[in-house]
Chains A and B, each alone.
Chain A
Amino acid sequence: MNNSKLKKLFGEKNRFIFFFLLPGIVLFIAIYAYPLVQIFATSFTKWNYQNFLKPEFLGWDNLFSNYQKLFTVDKNFQRALINSIKWVVLTMVIQIPFTVLVALALAKKLKGWRLARNAFIIPNIISTAAIGLIFLNLYSPSRGIITEICEFFVPGSQVSVLASETSAFWAVTFSFILFGGSSCLLLLTQIFSIDPAIYEAARIDGASEFQLDWNIRLPLIRPMIGTVSVMAANYGLLLYNEIALITQGGPDNATYSLSYYIYKTAMGSTKLNFARANTAGVIQFLLGLILVGMINKAFRTSKAD
């Protein structure tokens, strides 16, 4: 009697677990697992617009031929890779320090700090499609402001930001690099959670505000700086929207990113090469893992958290 009751309960429980997990597992397989396996598998095949229905295995001798070609022949990929790495580095050396400085300044709760915090979030919560389009217009020679400002300082300069390779790269960079509003919010939350008693002790010892920032707040929010660094670095690594809207990879493919390369190679041109796009996807995925590992290691504090 008791035994059968237990059995029944057990049955119900397992059925419940199964049916409740099923939709999540289906979603996981369809949106993540299957595509991930596919990009790995097809990175070892010849698969382009000529044999769309039938990817051909490259054979054990040429197993890594797609990878080889990307790194030796494919100029667009190489540019995309270098740009993406540059954008990752730039988020680390511009966005993160800037956001930390803003957070430390806002944490002093001067008049208007809350307004500034909320305003800073706005560029992060409106669509990047809108942001991209706004910057496209700001950079436009005929209706933008950059050309007009340059004209004021150097009459007749006729600057066209998106026409040169270097300035187009920076144009894309500055359409996102200063917008660290959500990260700033997280850092602020962390700063506010520091026990005020710690400051009191330091103040009695005569520490200045700057010393408090440098010696107390900064070390204490270090793990959170690590977290927002991971998010920012990922954003840099995956950059797509700003490029699609502002430069479309140009001029002369100078502003390709890995994401833009994948889109162009698999879906956005005439001579599609699916195997190569998926190989680039594998590389992007692996780079992401390496980045997370590196940043976590750099920001790990002595205490395990």
Chain B
Amino acid sequence: MKEKNNIWGKIYGYFMIAIVLIISIYPIAWVVLSSFKQNPGGLSLPDKWVFDGYITIFTQLDIGMYFKNSIIVTALSTFFSVTIVSMSAYVSARMEFKLKSLVTLMFTTTLFIPSVSISFPIYQMLGNLGLRDTHAGLIFVYSGLGIAVTFFMLRAYFLSIPKEMEEAARIDGCSYAGAFFRIILPISRPGIATAAIMVALNNWNEFYFASILLKSKENMTLPALLGQFTTTYAQNLNGMFSAIVVSVLPTIIVFCLLSETFVKSLTAGAVKG
């Protein structure tokens, strides 16, 4: 009886594993195979492997430029976001002051404000500031997206550090800011890294604001470029498939190398809604 139970359980387990592998990997594998085909698409394997698409995107499309844009925007917005939020989170974790609960409430409410619902005021504001089609504008918006999750992650991390660390520094004559930058930040590196990975991943992939704010080609990030393929470049199929592959490959490679770190980041990012 027990044995039988086990067999069915195993069959079910392997069946689910197979399904998950197929639905997760097939779309990407299909794009990779298609990018090497003379006539991309369809179910068959390539009969002749062509590399035209890859040559095109590096020579004519200049995909390196989009990579550079994505890297600049992601790096700066992640830096600003994590720095600003960690400062607030530290104050909220350690300091006693009158309006403390208001600060926590402020970050909590951002969790419930969908960025799309308020996207027109943001779009208009950036227009007024002359930042609409610029990296600075996009970095500004990205710095503010998702701050609630980062706030709670970092706050929890700061709370887990013993108070004696700063007290010792204070007795030695360190200022509050000095204690934060010299003592707390260095010890919190693992927690900050976990938060930064999640923020960077979101900003690297962000499509909505990238597509509504960036209009000129030389400013576009990779997701914004991919959005263009629905209309403009659709004639060059090899180019399009190769561009998809090249734009998702870095994320997949980094994930394969650091999967346990990613898993930790993604798990820590769950904030009760």
Contacts and interface: CB of A to CB of B under 8 A. Distances in A.
A256 interface: no
Nearest to A124: B266
A12 B223 contact: no
A181 interface: yes
A51 B223 CA distance: 33
Contacts of A19: 177
Interface size range of chain B in the complex: 35 or more
A195 B31 CA distance: 43
Given A130-B226, A185-B266, A244-B227, A12 B28 contact: no
Interface in A117-140: 118-123, 125-138, 140
B273 A34 contact: no
Contact of B24 (A38, A119, A189): A119
B41 A121 contact: no
B97 to A, nearest CB: 6
Contacts of A295: 273
Contacts of A119: 20-21, 24-25
B43 A234 contact: no
A30 B144 contact: yes
Contacts, number: 294
B14 A143 contact: no
A34 B118 CA distance: 9
Nearest to B70: A127
B10 A110 contact: yes
B232 interface: no
Interface of B: 2, 5-6, 9-10, 12-17, 19-21, 23-25, 27-28, 30-31, 34, 39-43, 83-85, 87-88, 90-91, 95, 97, 103, 106-107, 109-110, 112-114, 116-125, 140-141, 143-145, 147, 175-177, 180, 201, 204-205, 207-208, 211-212, 222-224, 226-227, 229-230, 237, 240-241, 244, 247-248, 251-252, 255-256, 259, 262-263, 266-267, 270, 272-273
